[in-house]
Structure 1
Amino acid sequence: MSPVAYPVSTAAVLHASLDLRIEQRTAWPPRAGEAQIAILSTGLCGSDLHYYTHGRNGDFAVREPLVLGHEAAGVITAIGDGVSHLEVGQFVAIEAGVMCRACSNCLGGRYNLCSRMRFASSAKTFPHLDGTLQTRMNHPAHLLHPLPEHCSPERGALAEPLSVVLHALRRAQLQPGHSVFVIGTGSIGILACSVAKALGASRVAAADINRGRLAFTKAHGLADDVYHIDLSANPSLPRVPTKGGPGAPADESIRRSRENAMAALDAFGAPDGFDVVMECTGVEASAQMGIFAARTGGKLMLVGMGTSTMSLPISAAATREVDILGTFRYANTYPSALALLGSGVLRGVDHLVTHRFPLDRAAEAFALMRKGVDENGDIVLKVVVEAPRPGHQ
């Protein structure tokens, strides 16, 4: 009897910092409850870049070869036993986090907080779970979401970062008529502006230190107003006295952040602040600025993943009842995210992907992300790694 010939999967595998290798692997058949997907589009994000550049993302170091990528969509090529809601040839978005479905958080609908979560392309758990920078992968079928009409695989790959935004806005309880201030206009911040408008925000403003990103945000109608944070405006501020003696560096940072917030609110003509502030950088100074930019009784959403310890002006939040809310990934968001992507109501979404690379040039894609601008001086926002559809190589 002739041996069974399984298809081959090409993968971009990280072995160490700056050591990304293109390798061939066997694409084994999906197990019960799984489906096999030919990955067509994977968007690269900041965590992927940290792994590529440093061999780690925060506390999570790569301990074995790891396939990166988790913002992805593709087409189903095979179905395992017990899967009845999907079919071969169907286009799907891939939800990368595999939850246990049995702990209290999973059973309570907050599976993003699952203590046994295994997330594709993350080195948090060991053995690691490979991500989507490969031409074929098997994944639990319940985490594969059919793409709606008028939603390409590239647009479907945006369902993952869009889910981050949706989850954060749900936690903020954004209502039509609320005003929203987004600090940081990377891909998450840009999507936050777009979604806030789509959900009926009365006003959306954005701030960043990068003029190019702000110009993009304004040009595509994603924000009503933008503000450039000039880091050189107050290069050295006097120390602020405290009860314990001379002011500490943290006091200076908070004072500078307050001044930046007041200058932005003045430029926006919004002296009372915003109902919801979305901090999308993870930078301490931006979180500080967000507290001062929120209105009395408003909310600050900490969306960006930054340093593990921050110095924040808690009294400025407490005395004005500014709620500081954390958010981590997402739960139960993919259907809504895909519906938005298919509806055409999200402004600027088709301009978010600025650069595309084939899988065998994935290292070049990461190198471009590190630079932030391309050879023509154009801004780099979302970089997508593409693979041809099966039968179209």
Structure 2
Amino acid sequence: MTVDPAAMRMTQSSVRAANLALVLSRIPGQQGTISRADIAAQVGMTRSTVSRLVDDLIMGGLVREGGTTAGARGRPAVPLSLQKGTVVSLGLEINIERIVATVVDLAGEMIDVQQRDLDVLGLSPADAVALLMELANTALESRPDGARLTGAVLALPGLLDRTGTRVLRAPNLGWEGVSPSDFWDLTVDGDPVPLRCANDVDCSALTVLRDDPQASFIYVTGEVGIGSAIAIDGALLTGRSGWAAELGHVCVDPDGELCGCGSVGCLETVVGARALLDRHGYPDLDSLIADAESGQDAAVTVITEVAVALGIALGAALNLLDVENIRLGGHLGRLEPLLRDRLAAELDRRVLWAQHSGIETQVVEDAPLRAAMGAGLSGLGRVLTDPASWIDPILV
């Protein structure tokens, strides 16, 4: 049998590319603590093979070595981390009350943040994207010399098509059938910067997974409305079309208020920040928290109402998904100390397996910036999944 040399080279190249991605995938969740020997043990490769692959990743500017640390026996271990400032992405967000542009590097650090707080509902999509480009250009001025730009990802509060180019429906933003790329015309070093869109809460969840790559959780965050994301063993559960995890539009009161989505009694109409404050006459969340902490009956009633509504929606989700960890962000994270006992009691009552396995609730801090940062991480994802395409042009 004759072996085609070109096919053999292609096979070898494909195997090397897959191995580079496998080795690189072990570093993000173990930065500064994992060594070449550790990776070899985890992925089942020989140390010499892993060492060659790591050398390529270092020469390609994706990985860096730290100082040696003493091991139990043999040579001191050299910890590996993702390289800072060599590959960056634009992480962007357009939301109801702000427009944000960040530059995020492969190590997960925000090199720069440009934010404009304003009423986005008063802008047309074209004007909003024009302002976004202005902020993006300013943020890119902080890009390290020689850093390669992977592209731009825009986090938006709504449903998107599978390609990430068209907003199918964003009720709170007032956008429907909008393609932000139609108004996007950003160039860097003479080259156009491609734009892709993603759901804002999915992007936020990526920042949580960055710190805990194998985590399983339901992440619920809120500002004006309610957004959520689901992770199972480190992978976002997005659904066939990318529309999963819309917990904010689960019905918790069939006789309730009309939601911006067109349905009635959605969780968002009860616990969304704007609906919550408007319905109970509080000027801001601080006032509600202060009254609840002082034990005023009206505020305590509001907190109970929020806990019950969350318990209904989250209880149904936990029964379906068998996930034990809840992460609360945004205004729900701020309310968590007040909600904790009431929400736990509601979940104990509603979740079938609650008495057999504990349900943990955690607060996700800095939720407002997480969407833009997660969008940047999303834009860097293709470097992590296909590092060969990024390092080989440098190594040749």
Which structure dedicates a bigger proportion of its chain to helix? Answer: 2
Q: Same fold (TM over 0.5)?
A: no
Larger Rg: 2
- TM-score between both structures, scaled by the size of structure 1: 0.34
